[in-house]
Amino acid sequence: MRLPASQAGKLAVFTALALLLAVLPFGTEALLGRSWVRVIDGALLFSMLAIGLNVVVGYAGLLDLGFIAFFGIGAYSYSLLASPQFGLHYPFWVLLPLGAVVAGLFGVILGAPTLRLRGDYLAIVTLGFGEIIRIFLVNLNRPFNLTNGPQGITLIDPIRIGGFDLSKTYEVFGMKVAAVHSYYFLFLLCVIASIILSLRLENSRIGRAWIAIREDEVAAKAMGINTRNIKLLAFAMGASFGGVSGGLFASFQGFVSPESFKLMDSIMIVCMVVLGGMGHVPGVVLGAILLTALPEGLRYVQPLQQSLFGRVYVDPADLRMLLFGLALVLMMRFRPQGLWPSKRREHELKGEA
Amino acid sequence: MSALLEARDVVKRFGGLTALSEVSLTVERGEIFGLIGPNGAGKTTFFNVLTGLYSADQGAVVFDGKPLSAAPHQAAAAGISRTFQNIRLFANMSALENVMVGRHVRTHAGVLGAVFRTGATRAEEAAIRSRAAELLEYTGLSARAGDTAAHLAYGEQRRLEIARALATDPKLLALDEPAAGMNATETAGLKKLIERIRADGVTVLLIEHDVKLVMGLCDRVAVLDYGRKIADGAPAAVQRDPAVIAAYLGGNAEAAHAP
């Protein structure tokens, strides 16, 4: 079979990328150690979150500062139905779609009262929503113990596909495939599916309606777009990505607690979307990977200080916030459209228009 | 057949200001109807009531035999489409995408169709695209299809708004000062375009300040002043109406100088 040059080129790039992604966890483990494979797994989960938030913020232009709540809702709906908490052990193929639906419903619950709000006001309400969900998770251990409060839920079932338990170590072709590797491939598949889903939505009648609302809500209404329903749909769709990601997170960790769903995490996801390039799927994935990897890289600063100065001057956790702040300020000053923006955003924010 | 649009005693107040005071008018099918009046007379307010952006405090609007409800997207679905006095394009979308958004109200694909790319969705998407391309051709914007709306020249943006409004398959096209800021050549082109739209079966309701354009184009004209309709009829008759002359030229000196 002979292909035209451009197609052959695409195929070559595609094959190379697939190979790279296939060996990535093993290569990383050999070079940097297992903890970095876990970091990659986390980056994939955050990529899904960023893709979800991008639907709300990037396409429909609705600033959501409580997005981590949907991650939490997904994680808890998985945990409650697949752990000793209630003695329920449903399989993942029921629970992940369920997580998407439940998170989507909560998306609508958040969206419905905020339909008339925009910008700063919407941001404040969504921020409050995120906190309310977290506080519920902390306090719903009395009078009836639903969430087990601040202790969280432990011994969550891992994902089992047939007889294959993702949390166990297997030997494949003489290579040890541990949980971090198995989950890597599962997460990778989910991220690829999310990317395809998100791109298809973007280039559809619904996606155009979202972008039209972001551009000019009054004109969008005048064109016959039912802005109420279309905005609720954006909230629901975005949240459902978060819900699936949360379910995956719960099964991977085997443990969830309200600690994992704090305001700081919501802000982090917004940063991923903004830094990567609002409204552009490859951009937000890049943002998610960078912002997950960066803090981990900063951990090396501590031993570095120790060896250079004989003592630790700056705590890496503080340094992380300092550098984040600095990076964001610099981004807003010099590259407001993000690292890898869509064409649309690029000329919008460069001020050519 | 009944009139396409019938407004009966429409009243709209903003606090103490009565922007529309019992305005009644009738637009027949297939005509070009002009709505004129000095600045602040309530023309755009009337448009906003008509297209559901405002709801009337009293009175009713009957469109195509059915009462209009006060939701903008339903007005568009019923067959009223509009342009805006201060252009409101989707500035960062391409010209073609702007027109494609206009097809929203006549198409159906939902999330599942988009995600699974079903045959029906792909066919609909292709139809949206080709209809949008047709409308760009119709308004003379084919060459700018891929360009961002914000980068179009002013006159082109005005025409793109018309193309976008036509994409909703309107029965009534409401144009809010389409010639504002246009030079003579552009205005002449616009006049031809509006005549062609009418010839293709769309009724046109026009707010315009360019008296020459209104008189040359409209079959009938209504004049608003301080929220009140002071005249309507054939352009030549309205032009001679003393109340209209007074409103435009300040024939009544006391009224013109009243605080």
Task: Residue A197: give the domain boundaries.
Answer: 21-262
Looking at residue B3, its pLDDT comes to 86
d(CA A285, CA A243): 17
Q: How far is B241 from chain A (nearest CA, A)?
A: 35
Looking at residue A343, its pLDDT comes to 74
Looking at residue B257, its pLDDT comes to 43
A96-119 pLDDT per residue, tens: 999 999 999 999 999 999 988 888
The values of phi and psi at residue A245, to 5°, are -60, -40
Q: Which of B188, B183, B181, B171 is nearest to B87 (CA)?
A: B181
Asked if residue A299 is part of any domain, the answer here is no
Residue B258 pLDDT > 50:
no
Q: Which of A52, A88, A81, A90 is nearest to A236 (CA)?
A: A52
Q: Where is mean pLDDT largest: A141-145, B144-148, B162-166?
A: B162-166
A153-184 pLDDT per residue, tens: 999 999 988 878 888 888 887 778 888 899 99
Total residues found in chain A within this entry: 353
Peptide bond into A143 cis (omega under 30): yes
A210-228 pLDDT per residue, tens: 999 999 999 999 999 999 9
Which helix (H) or strand (E) segment holds residue A170: the answer is strand A170-172
Asked if residue A116 is part of any domain, the answer here is yes
Q: Is the distance from CB of B33 to CB of B218 less than 8 angstroms?
A: yes
B202-254 pLDDT per residue, tens: 999 999 888 888 888 999 999 998 888 988 888 888 888 888 888 877 755 44
Yes or no, beta carbons of A224 and B104 under 8 Å apart: yes
| Residue A185, token pair as written in the block | 């491939």
Looking at residue A349, its pLDDT comes to 60
Yes or no, beta carbons of A215 and B91 under 8 Å apart: yes
| Pick from A200, A212, A219: CB nearest B114 | A200
Task: For chain B, report the end-to-end CA distance as a whole number of angstroms.
Answer: 46
Asked if residue A77 is part of any domain, the answer here is yes
Q: Which of B175, B177, B179 is nearest to B162 (CA)?
A: B175
Asked if residue A111 is part of any domain, the answer here is yes
Yes or no, beta carbons of A219 and B124 under 8 Å apart: no
Q: How far is CA B106 from the centre of its chain?
A: 18
Yes or no, beta carbons of B97 and A208 under 8 Å apart: yes
Percent of chain A with pLDDT over 70: 96
| Pick from A204, A215, A221: CB nearest B90 | A215
pTM for this model (two decimals) = 0.90
User: How many beta carbons lie within 10 A of that of residue A288, not counting itself?
Assistant: 30
Cβ neighbours of A226 in B, within 8 Å: 73
Q: Is the distance from CB of A58 to CB of A273 less than 8 angstroms?
A: yes
Asked if residue A343 is part of any domain, the answer here is no
Using pLDDT thresholds of 50, 70 and 90, give the confidence band for residue A353: very low
Residue A1 pLDDT > 70:
no
Burial class (CB in 10 A: 0-12, 13-18, 19+), A228: middle
Percent of chain A with pLDDT over 90: 59
Residue A16 pLDDT > 70:
yes
Q: What is the ipTM of this complex?
A: 0.90
| Pick from A197, A218, A345: CB nearest B88 | A218
Q: Is residue A200 helix, strand or coil?
A: helix
The count of structural domains within chain A is 1
Asked if residue A298 is part of any domain, the answer here is no
Asked if residue A185 is part of any domain, the answer here is yes
Asked if residue A232 is part of any domain, the answer here is yes
Using pLDDT thresholds of 50, 70 and 90, give the confidence band for residue A348: low
Q: Is the distance from CB of B125 to CB of B187 less than 8 angstroms?
A: no
| Residue B40, token pair as written in the block | 């602040």
Q: Is residue B36 helix, strand or coil?
A: strand
B52-107 pLDDT per residue, tens: 888 889 988 999 988 887 788 889 999 999 999 999 999 999 999 999 999 999 99
Cβ neighbours of B128 in A, within 8 Å: 205
Looking at residue B176, its pLDDT comes to 92
